Amino acid sequence: MNIFRLLGDLSHLASILILLQKIQSTRSCRGISFKTQALYATVFITRYLDLFYDWVSLYNFVMKIFFIASSCYVLYLMKYKYRPTHDPSIDTFRVEYLLGPCAVLALLFHYRFTLPELLWSFSIFLESVAILPQLFMLQRTGEAETITTHYLAALGAYRALYIPNWIYRWFTEDMVDPIAVTAGIVQTALYLDFFYVYFTKVLQGQKFELPA
Amino acid sequence: EKPRSAHDEL
């Protein structure tokens, strides 16, 4: 564990707490893509299967349980409790365009040809693009509530912070994971546009609005 | 065989 990974994980944790806070305080999941949330639940469930047979640490265990549980809880909130506040007509990204290629990539790039390893690879690739339905929705509506942008910023910061973590591990542990690193760089790059608007507008106290 | 590199990450 190093400071970058710890801050990345805390940022990830914070993003989920901000999302829950947004839903509970506005009693609405307006502006949140159900598809992105469903993809994240898929990511966590397929990646953390090792919970059942591989012990890393208490920290690792608790975080994995939290990510699986919270992502399922968000799906429950969106699908049942606050269902009327979710508008599927603007959440139109075709997720099959993400799931298919990620499955193919996992078949091509993995560390071992076993089901858990294939699912692990799949989850890494899927995570890197899981935000696209959400960003697509943002693009369509052209604006977002401030709390939603804080959620996205914390989520983007999480994978961005993993990049210095991998550089650090390269030097201190001689560790490199080409699959995670490549996908992580792609994942972070997808946020660049969003980050630009977040830093130049939201953090200056303005509303998140995309130019028409 | 390749070590399970980033499998200790989240």
Tens of pLDDT, residue by residue over A152-187, are: 999 999 999 999 999 999 999 888 999 999 999 999
What A196-200 contacts at long range (C-beta under 8 Å, 24+ apart), as own/partner pairs, is A198/A149, A198/A152, A198/A153
Q: Inter-chain contact A177–B6, Cβ cutoff 8 Å?
A: yes
Predicted pLDDT at A23: 97
Å from A176 to nearest chain B CA? 7
Tens of pLDDT, residue by residue over B1-10, are: 445 578 899 9
Q: Inter-chain contact B10–A177, Cβ cutoff 8 Å?
A: no
CB-closest option in A12, A162, A175 to B5: A175
Predicted pLDDT at A42: 98
What was the ipTM of the complex prediction? Answer: 0.85
Predicted pLDDT at B3: 52
For chain B, the C-alpha Rg in angstroms (whole number) is 7
Q: Which of A165, A167, A155 is nearest to A36 (CA)?
A: A155
Å from B6 to nearest chain A CA? 6
For chain A, the C-alpha Rg in angstroms (whole number) is 17
Residues in chain A, pLDDT under 50: none
Predicted pLDDT at B4: 59
CB-closest option in A5, A57, A111 to B4: A111
Q: Inter-chain contact B1–A5, Cβ cutoff 8 Å?
A: no
Return the percentage of chain A with pLDDT > 90, whole number.
Answer: 95
